[in-house]
Structure 1
């Protein structure tokens, strides 16, 4: 799958607008290539282009680049996997590569920054293991929210503006600036990383949290509650009781929700046939998959794929 096929709708629209202003096919090719590895824009600039978010921007999607949103004004609600997060100003929201994320709510008066990047920009300066130990907000299945204090805001915004200034140079933008300032930005964020004490988390909530993480990572090859109970070293009955206590839903409900997210992403972001998608989400027959999908969404897989 091409990287540009899995960028968020908002970024695709910005790219189209920026590229319209560029003449010459070689320049166009270089600029398009740069977008795949680093991109930054102000959120308010995006909302100058559209009156409101597009319907397709609220569909689940998976990107193969890392991205973050930093709000300086307003609030939004977004999810990663089965976890939903509402956040407001002075807050970063990080999404590691390959996680399924969904926009639940966003107003067009928000302000802040959107940035996506290839992890290799950081890997040139440090080994991969150290990236995740130094910057745990980039790790897969990490807690995605990071709130800064007002005193740090001016330093952080200046770094983001420096990245934006360099990015807007197009083909004249220097990759070493992206690397250095991105690393500086994440270093500025280190003091704001919060690590919850294990004892402060209710046992049922902790098991449910680990269950959701396991679902996000393993759903395409494990789709039974018993598979996850074994993975977590507890009985299926105990897993179900914990999930019910924490969410009001059964463990099987969460399995189905994660299967549905995977199916939606494959329907919109791949060219796989309905039969292949059915197989990938553990449904033996297309009819079984179609019935499951329509029960969960109210529309058929084919109709969902055609949504604009």
Structure 2
């Protein structure tokens, strides 16, 4: 079982570009042809503060994302968003292409790009299975991206944006097919905005009314729309996000229940324990003692 040393929080790794022809400080395309898939510091639980998208042509290694194991499949697409907890079991060779970029890079793109399902990832997905036609499309688009990535000039950025938009839009269509969640409407957009605000503030804000104020709407209207769009109360989204973070910390770190409670904005550790048991059916101690990873 891989955990962190006592009292060490889950480290957050920032984007660290390698010297390349494009000189980009917020976007990188990396071809892997049998190189080790991960650095040694990826073998401990960690987070990244940037997006990672990987087309795996040939893999085989296993890793964990938010307590779920994934064995990399050939000709499949994998993606993570900032903040997810990951750990790799061992460094193994991989053949494929990785795209990594920061929130800052995304902010420079058309606003619609950040709202694509693949990047919002409302269903907490990680793996897209590709047909032969999908593989051909992805490989062709990545080849075009790589050609522009290696050709600096005044047209590089708009061309990168164009090809990246095509790729992410195509993959988002696959995402909605493999992780069904409804068509984008005004109310659906409000659900996405609500989830985004929770992601930014769940440690400090635990009440629906606080998020309604952030979104400049009434708490009643927010609750009504969220229930209609998601099938569950608005408060459940906050509670689920708190539980996810609690499970991450209980699973991957040796932090005490009291420390986790305070980190998540609970003033009282016993109340946090009751909250966690009500949501999961287990106390924090029971969940931690029953965790299973790899031998």
Q: TM-score, structure 2 length as denominator?
A: 0.56
1:114-125 to 2 correspondences below 5 Å: 114-124=98-108
- The whole-number CA distance in structure 2 between the counterparts of 1:6 and 1:41 is 16
Cα distance, 1:66 vs. partner? 0.8
Q: Distance in 2 between matches of 1:139 and 1:166?
A: 27
Quote the Cα distance in structure 2 between the aligned partners of 1:228 and 1:137: 32
Q: Contact 2:79 / 2:126 at 8 angstroms: preserved in 1?
A: yes
User: For 1:130-163, what per-residue CA distance to the aligned partner results, in whole angstroms no more than 9, with x for missing partners?
Assistant: 734x324543771111111111211111111111
> 2:229 matched to 1:221?
no
Output the CA distance in 1 between the equivalents of 2:270 and 2:132.
44
Task: Render the CA deviation track for 1:7-59: whole Å, top value 9, x for unaligned.
Answer: 4xxx76xx2xx46xx8xxxxxxx82xx1x3100111217x1xx6x85433423
Q: Return 5+ residue gaps in structure 1 as ranges.
A: 23-29, 200-206, 244-248, 258-308
Maintained 8 Å contact 1:67/1:96: yes
Deviations 1:231-262 (A, max 9, x none): x7x627x6218x9xxxxx922448x99xxxxx
- Aligned CA RMSD, in angstroms, stands at 4.1
1:167 and 1:173 in contact (8 A); partners too = no
Aligned to 1:41: 30
Flag the structure with higher helix content: 1
Q: Which residue number corresponds to residue 170 of structure 2?
A: 188
| 1:235 partnered with 2:278 | yes
Name the residue aligned to 2:76.
91
TM-score by length of 1: 0.54
CA contact (8 A) 2:49 2:82 kept: yes
Structure number with the bigger relative contact order (C-alpha 8 A, sep ≥ 6) is 2
**Preserved contact between residue 137 and residue 143 of structure 1 (Cα < 8 Å):** no
Q: Gaps spanning 5+ residues in structure 2: where?
A: 1-11, 182-229, 232-238, 250-259
**1:111 match:** 95
- The answer as to 2:244 corresponding to 1:212 is yes
